[in-house]
Amino acid sequence: MGDPGDDALLVLFANGDGQAARDLTGRLGPRTYSVALRVLGNRAEAEDVAQEAMMRLWQMAPDWQPGRAKVSTWLYRVTLNLCLDLKRRRRTEDLDAVPEPQDESPSVPERLQEAARIDALQAALMQLPERQRQAVILRHIEELPNPEIAGIMDISVEAVESLTARGKRALARALAGRRTELGYDDG
């Protein structure tokens, strides 16, 4: 028997199942935090947003109607809306968003190189217009299909394609001058 889906876990959670709470946190918590971190570019704010988004999931659980939508889609949407709310409240951007290093990363120099690349990507992402950044993150980091992104962002699939294409071009331009620095110009 396979693992229960998010729908089933949410029903179990609403019925008081403690293991379902742990499973849902393990499944959905990292993606919620990851999206918030990439969109906001600030770790502390991303933690606050991710915690609030999960809190809304817990509170919504008894009213969830299985089969109507994907739990993850609903959660991505709530997370992006919370990010937008936060950005409206603050206008100064904080680019200090160095994600936690992976425990099992290969070696110190490689890890530093990897961290530098992720930093550079994050800095370039923060230069994109809001909607382009959201679409690029959902498509190329979260690897969601375009129709799901369209549902999350409440736009057409064509609009998603347009946003991601323009976003990628802008990122490529922003990073073009840093190829050597990021270790892509060895030869």
Partner 1 sequence: MAENDTDLDALFAAARQERDFLPEDLAARMLADAQAVQAVRAASETAPEPAKRPGLWSQLGSALGGWRGIGGLATACAAGVWIGLAPPAFLPDPAELLYPQSDTDLFADLSLSDLNAEEG
Contacts with partner 1 by CB under 8 A lie at: 13-14, 16, 18, 21-22, 24-26, 29-31, 33-34, 38, 47, 50-51, 54-55, 58-59, 61-62, 99-100, 102, 114, 117-118, 120-122, 140-143, 168, 171-172, 175-176, 179, 182, 184
Burial of 42 (0-12, 13-18, 19+ CB in 10 A): buried
CB of 43 to partner 1, least distance (A): 8
Contact 168, 136 (CB under 8 A): yes
CB atoms within 10 A of CB 44: 11
CB of 91 to partner 1, least distance (A): 25
Give the residue with the Cβ less far from partner 1, 54 or 78. 54
Give the residue with the Cβ less far from partner 1, 90 or 179. 179
**Coil/strand/helix, residue 68:** coil
> What whole-number distance in Å separates Cα of residue 75 and Cα of residue 80?
9
**Per the structure block, which two tokens stand in for 77?**
């949407």
Give the residue with the Cβ less far from partner 1, 16 or 91. 16
